[in-house]
Amino acid sequence: MSYDPPPSPGQQPPHGEEPNGEQQPYPPYGQPYGQPYGQPYGQQPYGQPYGQQPWGAPPSQSVMAIISLVTGIIGLLFCGCFVLSITALVLGILGKKEISESNGAKTGRGLAQAGFILGIVGIAIGLLYWILIVVSNVAFYDY
């Protein structure tokens, strides 16, 4: 066995050795290398990052996305009423914006997208409906 002299006061000791030359024991079971001693495995040292939900709390659904989907479906059923389809379109846009700004705290992007698309389809069908009504009324009247 060779003798290694202890490091001088300004030098760092080799990995796994104390400054006085003694060997450090292995870290406790489950404690990874580089993790400060006494800190539980996997725990962040400074708490939650800004804007994130606490661990274990599920993200919530966006209410605007749900209302957008519902008004889009009802707007398709009542094709002549543009109010519900326009509401679905606007709430779909606002719902997607709210979800993207929440940094994962809210979900429902698919619901908002579906409401947006149903709003566009409802407006298109409503326009076609009113155009057909006007054309059919003009065609049946002789001037």
Please write the tens of the pLDDT for every residue from 92-116.
999 999 999 998 899 999 999 999 9
Report how far residue 105's alpha carbon sits from residue 9's, in angstroms, rounded to the nearest whole number.
51
pLDDT band for 64, please (50, 70, 90 cuts).
Answer: very high
Provide mean pLDDT across the span 112-130.
95
Please write the tens of the pLDDT for every residue from 9-61.
666 555 555 556 555 555 555 555 555 555 555 555 555 555 555 566 688 99
